[in-house]
Structures are given as structure tokens and as C-alpha cells.
Chains A and B, each alone.
Chain A
Amino acid sequence: MTNSIPEIRDTELMFVIGSNTTEAHPIIAMEMKRAVRNGSKLIVADPRKIWLAEIADLHLQLRPGTDVALLTAMAHVIIAEGLVDEAFVANHTVDFEDVKAAVAETTPEWAETITGCPAEDIRTAARWYATTDKAGVYYTLGITEHSHGTDNVYSLANLVAMTGHLGKRSAGLNPLRGQNNVQGANDAGASPVFYPGYQRVQDPVARKRFEEAWGVPLSPHDGLNLNVMMKALNKGDIKGLYVMGEDIVISEPNCSALEVGLNDAEFVVVQDIFMNETCRFADVILPAACFAEKDGVFTNSDRRVQRVRKAVEAPGEARPDWEIICDLARACGYPMPHYSGPAEVYAEMAALTDKFSGISHERIEAEGGLQWPCPTLDHPGTPTLHQGAPLIGKVEFQGVAYRPSEELPDEEYPLVLSTGRTLYHYNAATQTRRASGPMAKQPVNFVEMHRKDARRRGLNDGEVVTVRSRRGAIEATVAVSPRMRRGCVWMPLHFPESNTNRLTNDAGDPVTATAEYKVCAVQIDGIAR
């Protein structure tokens, strides 16, 4: 997030797109509800009539995968109606001409034919967003989990930059991060292209810095990102896999292909707190401590580095992941230091970066969470990014053009499936499937569908059906829902016995390779009993 969670309550307009905030980020949603109570406008763009759409001033119920059409049409309106923040564009951006050219023809009427949203609503959204001072964009995986996810993000960034909604409180471009420490994992360099602190592995200066610190030569080539790594496993290019704290069989798309790859791999290690689906393929399983049993830091959505503290002992012989990793490195012949604890590990990382070099366990202990960039020990941290000017100097506009999702509905598979998370469960759900409240609320997998799509197939609410795509078939319970668009269905991903990722498409974004969890074609059939 460019801005901070506590700033949301003072905002004047929220543009929430591709985020079912009340379920995926309930506490951020509470801030949004408070903002609406305080008079903020709310625009929701989502194929489903999600909870926030109920209190929104405007709900753009677009077809899944048509975000670029919607957003370029909004840009078209802002430019055509002279609502551009000319001063911001002149002082802080380059290549505005590219966007102007790209959106010259993307009228709201054109976008209506693609998105299904009325042209007048698109105009209204563009006008409200451009003419409100404190207007923030909030998005999550509904934007990124597409074969054109990068284009979606570029389109949003274009809107933010052309209206100058950057570098001020209660505005900005705010991806709400999905996991407790997905920000921190990237920050720490668990990335095929970045060392800690977003230093490129291809940058010789950065590489030298880490080679000197770690005392070994390092590979100059970018590694494989997760989706590509999973495909490489299937092709036999990856032969050995170490998996810490993720059930990839549940979480990754097109899991049947992944299972073939895992089965063919020569060596698989799983390090986790529960036996999970990926463990079926493991040669070694290492029992780990959970968050309540170890020390360290998590970095949240608004770049806030906060402490995790050990409250109880890990069960049996389970050990904190950091200790296991250090032992393993030493067993492989690498002289990993004998760290006294996570504080010392953090200090080693902070010293190798510029963004976090002012952060330490000691400071967090004394001052509470710190938001990076925080370059020096007396720096207070940065709640709002880009104040004064963009951090990278100039914002580069990106002209992007709409292209359809990889797999569109047809006669054989006429429904568009989107997938996601619910309030009551969490991802692979090893934790929440063992919680009594979530199990009382949502015990089994379901498929949300429009009443007319159900009726056409002779299906009733609560009936168990088969959902099938080109990649697999699973059973789930029909949930007829007023939230759905006709022709669209939605399923959660939390149920190993009915793994929704048997259906999803592993087509990836060309830049990030993030998979298209949000759009694939399926058919739903009743089951003869």
C-alpha cells in the first residue's frame, strides 16, 4: 500500500476493485465502513454483489476479466473531460502521451459492450474519482490473478497518476496483501529476481554486496517464479523441491498437473505444522513451530514491520523454521552462522538493505511497528509513500490495451468460474478447518451461482453437483446467491476433498506469471442419485 490503514477513515472516496474486503481483509473493511459512515463515497467494481456493494454509492458489476476495459474507459473520460491533474502529470510523470493514445478510442460505450457496465456509470465513476481530493484505490487478487494482471495494475496506476492521487494522505494505490507476511517475504528476498530490499539479482553491484556478505559466489540469473517453477516440475526441469509453510497442491492452479510433477520429482521436502496434501509426495517431513511458538517479525499490507512473539512451546519435537533452515544449510556444507535468535537474523538482513536499515527488533520493542522505508535508526518510518514526489523520480505511464482472458466460456464450458477466499476460512485452511466456528459456518465446498443459471440446469440450492473444467472435475454444493452475475459462478479454495484448483487455469501473466485464478470456463451438472 502507498498509504496506511489508519488513513482510510479520513478518505473522501474509495474505489474498491477486485477486493472482497469484508471477507478477505475484515479489519480494513471496518475502516472502510467507518469512512462511509463519515461521508466518504464508495465505488465498488466487482463481478459479484459483495457486501461492500450493498453500501456503495456505485457498484460496477463488470464481467470477470474485463477490468482493463473498465479502467481505460475511465481514463478516457478523465482525459476527454479535462479532469487530468495537469500539474502532477507535468512535474512527476513521463510518457503521458502513451496513455492518451492508448485510451483515445476506449469510450464508455465501447467498454459497456465488454464489461456489461452501463456507460453512464463508468462516466460517473471516472468523474467522482478524478474530482475528489482524497480518493484512494484499493485492490487485491481480483486485479492481479489474471493473465493480464500486470495490465490491470498498470491501468489503475495510470488513473492514480493522471489524477495526482499520489503522495497524499487517505489516497494512493493500495494493494491489500493477502497473507500475514507476504509483504515481508518479498521484502526479505524470497523472490527469484530480488535479493532482500528489492535489489535485483542481475545487478552486479547488488550481487557483489551479497557475495561479500555471504562469502560465496552467487548465480547471476533470475530464478523461476512459483507458477513457472510448478510447470518446470511437471516438465521434469525441477527435480528437487523444498516447501516451507505452503500446501502447494491446494494453493496452486491446475493441481492435477502439479501432482504429476510432484510424483515425478526425485526429492521433495515439506516443512509445515500439519500433514497436508503436498505431504503425500514428500520424502521428508519436518515438523515446524507455528506463529505462537516462535519469535520474529511479520510485515503487513501497509509496510508495517511488527513483532511475532513466542507465547507457548511448540508441540513434541517441532522446531521454529529458522532453526531448521540453519541446521539444513550447515548440513549442506554452508557455514550459516549460529544466530542467537531472529533479532540477529533481522539485523543481518537490515544491514544489507537501504529500506529497512533503520529497523531492528529493539526499536520495534520500544516503539511498536515501523513502516518502511526506514533507512536510519532515528527515522520515524514512512506511513505515506511518495510524499513530495514519487520515490522513483517520475511515474512512467503505461499504455495498455484490453485483451480477453485466456479461457473464455463456450458451448461446452459455458460458465465463468472465479475463485477466492471466504471470511471463515483461510487459504489451504489447515488452520481454519480445525476451528469450530468456521466449520459451523462453512463445513463444505460450495459453488455460488445465479438463480437462473441454477434453474436452467434444474439445480436447487443445497444440491451437490459436479463442477468440471478442461482440467478436472470436483463435487460441490450449490449456493444460489443474489450476489452473482448470470453466467458467472464462484468457489472458495479451502477444501482439500473438493479442491477447486483442480478446475483453475494455470495460464499466467506474461510479466509476473501469476495464474488466472479469477477466470476459467466450467460446466455444472446435476448428479443422478
Chain B
Amino acid sequence: MSDTIRLVVDGEEVEVPTGSTLLAATARAGADVPTLCHDPRLDPMGSCRMCLVEVEGQRRLQPACAYPAMEGQVVHTSTDRVERHRQVLLSMYCADHTLDADGLPAERALGNQLRAHVEAFGTGPTLPPIGTPRAGREDPNPYIHFDPDSCIACARCVRYCDEVEAVSAITLAMRGSSTTIATADQVGLLDSSCELCGGCIDTCPTGAMSEKRALGLLGADEETVRSTCNFCGVGCQLDLHVRDGEVVRVSSPPPGTTVNDGNLCVKGRFATEFINHPDRLTVPLIRGDDGELHEATWDEAIRVTAAGLMGVKERYGADALGFVSSSRCTGEENYLVQKLSRAAFGTNNCHQCAAT
């Protein structure tokens, strides 16, 4: 078997590795095939029907995300038939989704792909709302909110929880238009096998899974700053979402772009409450003769610190000083602490908690 296969997408010949899907081939050709249930980290499911394309020789439209690319295939991604299919499909989704005043799928959280597709491709005939009630659940967990009326039952969250995080805390439940996302016995996530990674929020295409603390806030109104997580040594890249000078939520850069491949853990995604916490130290403190800590200016604090450390050096020599640097601080700060220790005081007694 050859390593690559060639096929024609919208009149352009492309070469892709053997075993690729049509979605990969159409992407290679630069064709923008819309998807909803697709996530590159997950096995193809082919359930949302958004990515159907025309394959010559096939009577029916085929899902690009799940259909194998084959040698010599001729594929069309935007024929009248494909466009008509997309509009009818989007009409059906709209009939079963929370709409805003303009009749568009409501904008939520970090974006709603369904809304973007409706804006891009339009809808067909307006269908009567389905309105079947879907079961939600009271869930006291502090982070993850689920809105059943914005869910399109694509199961990305369920598959992520099973295939990537592998804890299988959530599942599809019920049938037909009642299909919803549930836990076993509808217990709260804190009582399930959920590890609060928030991958369900990240993968959800419509914002039905969203972050409680940022509920109602739209990503479009936030400034994002790319940074590196400050917990373990994996080096996950984070997008810090800033609103009115506060970090209101954290998201991962898209899959395939950084070392964490779109994933984050409970600490990286959610444990940011410390940043704005009222317990933060905000002013230098000096211990007085009374044994208590007293607020001081930076000038005083630096002067007292310098005098204290220099005093030890004068009385006992530089090697009576120890400098504990920090593997939590930046590389530049560690460089400067060892320079402080070596150049300003003359001792190599400088270390941090490096055991691995």
C-alpha cells in the first residue's frame, strides 16, 4: 500500500497520507467544510451531518469527517445540492435551539459554531420549534454549567470525557429530541468520576457547556493574553481572558497548536481565583521591635532588607547567607536571584526546590 493517495477536491488534485479522512483532504485543498461534531482529538462520529459533501459515484452525500479518502476520488464541497442540504439541516437545528431576537442561535460563552454556520450558509424553510423539554440537572459544582436548550447532542463533550480524559463522567441520555447530556443517576459532577478538567466546555461547539463563573459573558468582549500555566511542568499554553482588569476565565489555544493540544486540567483552566484574592500581599511589611508586622514603603523595605542581609555578611561572611530562589518564578527572575547571590553577596548558596 502506498503511503499517500491522490484525489480531486473541487477540481484541485491533492495528495494526503493513506488513511486520511475526506475532511483532511478537503482541508488540504483549502476547502472550508463546516463541522459541528468534529474535534481532531476524537474519533470521527459523523453524527451532526454538517460536513456532508458530494463524492462522485456515491448516491448519497457523505460525511467528510468520517468518510475515508481514496485514490482517484472526485469530491465536491459546495455544489447546489450540498448548499441546499446545509440550509435545511441548519433550519432543523434552529428549530431545536435557543434563538436570539434576530432568530439566530444565541451567542454564548466563547462562541457558537451553529450561529456562525447559519450566518455563513443561511437557513432553508423556517420550521416550527420542536420544544421538547430536555432534562437538565441541579449541579452544585463550582465550574461547569450545562444548558440543555443550547445542546445539539453532538456528544463531543461525552466523547472527550471518554476518549481524551478517559473518566467517562458524562453520557448521552434519553432518545430523539429529548436526547441530553447526563451523569449516571443525574448526580452532580462533584459526585461523579469527573475530574473538573473542563474539556467539555472547551470542545462544546455551541456553548451549551460553559463556565459558571463567566456565565453570560461573551468571549468577543474579552481581551485574551497568551501565557504559560503556572502549575506543573507540562508547560500548557493558556489564553487568559481579561475583562475590566481581571482574569475572568482561561481557555486553551486550539488543538494542534501548542504542547497541550487544546487540553487543560482543573488547575490550569479553573484555579485562577487566587489572582484577585483579597488575601494577596499588597504592601511591604517589616517586623518591628514589638514582634508584629508593620506596613512600610518600598524604599524602607528594600533598605531594611539590604541592611539585614549585608549585616549578616559583615558579621559572619557571605556563606552565612542562603538564597532560596523559586521554580515558580520566571527564568529571568531565577537568573537575577543567582546573580544577586553570587555577584552582590559573593556566595553560591543559591538553590530552589529542584528534585527531579
Q: Which of B266, B283, B325 gathers the greatest number of chain A CB atoms within 10 Å?
A: B325
Sample (22) of A-B pairs whose CB atoms are under 8 Å apart: A177-B233, A179-B327, A180-B235, A184-B331, A188-B335, A192-B348, A226-B324, A229-B351, A238-B322, A238-B349, A242-B323, A251-B353, A284-B308, A307-B228, A309-B225, A321-B326, A322-B333, A327-B302, A329-B343, A424-B267, A432-B274, A434-B279
| Given known A34-B164, A346-B332, contact A248–B324 (CB-CB < 8 A) | yes
A191 touches B354 (CB 8 A): yes
**Complex alpha-carbon distance, A432 and B269, angstroms:** 12
Using a CB-CB cutoff of 8 Å, which residues 307-356 of chain B contact chain A? 308-313, 315-316, 318-356
Interface check B120, CB cutoff 8 A: no
Write the chain B residue with the least CB distance to A345: B332
**Complex alpha-carbon distance, A160 and B353, angstroms:** 26
B312 touches A239 (CB 8 A): yes
B356 touches A182 (CB 8 A): yes
B interface, CB within 8 angstroms of A:
141-143, 163-166, 190, 195-197, 223, 225-237, 240, 242, 245-247, 258-261, 263-268, 270-277, 279-287, 293, 298, 301-306, 308-313, 315-316, 318-356
Residues of the B chain whose Cβ atoms lie less than 8 Å from the Cβ of A305 = 331
**Complex alpha-carbon distance, A207 and B237, angstroms:** 36
Query: What are the interface flags for A243-275 relative to B under an 8 Å C-beta threshold, 1 for contact and 0 otherwise?
Result: 111101001000000000000001101001111
Query: What are the interface flags for A311-352 relative to B under an 8 Å C-beta threshold, 1 for contact and 0 otherwise?
Result: 111011111111011111101111010000010011011000
A182 touches B298 (CB 8 A): no
B331 touches A296 (CB 8 A): yes
| Given known A188-B331, A266-B312, A304-B259, contact A287–B284 (CB-CB < 8 A) | yes
Residues of the A chain whose Cβ atoms lie less than 8 Å from the Cβ of B274 = 273-274, 290, 430-432, 434-435
Partner of A290, one of B143, B275, B354: B275
A190 touches B308 (CB 8 A): no
| Given known A177-B356, A304-B235, contact A242–B322 (CB-CB < 8 A) | yes
Report, nearest first, the 4 A-B pairs whose CB atoms are least far apart: A300-B235, A316-B282, A296-B330, A245-B326
Q: Which of B231, B280, B331 gathers the greatest number of chain A CB atoms within 10 Å?
A: B331
Q: Which of A94-102, A214-222, A393-401, A476-484 contacts B (4 or more CB under 8 A)?
A: A214-222
Write the chain A residue with the least CB distance to B271: A435
A318 touches B281 (CB 8 A): yes
Residues of the B chain whose Cβ atoms lie less than 8 Å from the Cβ of A304 = 235, 259
Q: Which of A27, A201, A225, A306 gathers the greatest number of chain B CB atoms within 10 Å?
A: A27
A302 touches B284 (CB 8 A): no
**Nearest CB of chain B from residue A230's CB, rounded to whole Å:** 8
**Complex alpha-carbon distance, A432 and B229, angstroms:** 13
Residues of the A chain whose Cβ atoms lie less than 8 Å from the Cβ of B326 = 185, 190, 244-246, 321
Interface check A440, CB cutoff 8 A: yes
**Nearest CB of chain A from residue B348's CB, rounded to whole Å:** 3
A178 touches B355 (CB 8 A): yes
A244 touches B337 (CB 8 A): yes
Using a CB-CB cutoff of 8 Å, which residues 448-473 of chain A contact chain B? none
A283 touches B325 (CB 8 A): no
Residues of the B chain whose Cβ atoms lie less than 8 Å from the Cβ of A290 = 230, 274-275, 280
A287 touches B271 (CB 8 A): no
A288 touches B343 (CB 8 A): no
Residues of the A chain whose Cβ atoms lie less than 8 Å from the Cβ of B354 = 182, 185-186, 190-191, 226
**Complex alpha-carbon distance, A186 and B318, angstroms:** 22
Partner of A30, one of B164, B301, B335: B164
Residues of the A chain whose Cβ atoms lie less than 8 Å from the Cβ of B308 = 240, 266-267, 269, 283-284
Residues of the B chain whose Cβ atoms lie less than 8 Å from the Cβ of A240 = 308-309, 311-313, 320-322
Partner of A435, one of B197, B260, B265, B273: B273
Interface check A12, CB cutoff 8 A: no
Given contacts A218-B342, A369-B258, 7 further A-B contacts (CB under 8 A): A190-B334, A226-B353, A242-B323, A274-B274, A312-B246, A316-B281, A325-B333
| Given known A182-B233, A311-B247, contact A423–B240 (CB-CB < 8 A) | no
Interface check A299, CB cutoff 8 A: yes
Interface check A6, CB cutoff 8 A: yes
Partner of A27, one of B263, B324, B333: B263
B330 touches A297 (CB 8 A): yes
B305 touches A284 (CB 8 A): yes
| Given known A30-B164, A181-B329, contact A287–B283 (CB-CB < 8 A) | yes
Interface check A134, CB cutoff 8 A: no
**Complex alpha-carbon distance, A310 and B316, angstroms:** 40
**Nearest CB of chain A from residue B220's CB, rounded to whole Å:** 17
**Complex alpha-carbon distance, A251 and B349, angstroms:** 18
**Nearest CB of chain A from residue B289's CB, rounded to whole Å:** 11
**Complex alpha-carbon distance, A435 and B302, angstroms:** 32
B271 touches A180 (CB 8 A): no
Write the chain A residue with the least CB distance to B213: A436
| Given known A226-B351, A329-B339, contact A178–B281 (CB-CB < 8 A) | no
Write the chain A residue with the least CB distance to B225: A311
Q: Which of B197, B228, B246 gathers the greatest number of chain A CB atoms within 10 Å?
A: B228
Residues of the A chain whose Cβ atoms lie less than 8 Å from the Cβ of B281 = 272-275, 285, 287-288, 316, 318
**Nearest CB of chain A from residue B164's CB, rounded to whole Å:** 6
Q: Which of A124-132, A137-145, A408-416 contacts B (4 or more CB under 8 A)?
A: A137-145
Interface check A292, CB cutoff 8 A: yes
**Complex alpha-carbon distance, A432 and B298, angstroms:** 28
Residues of the B chain whose Cβ atoms lie less than 8 Å from the Cβ of A186 = 352, 354
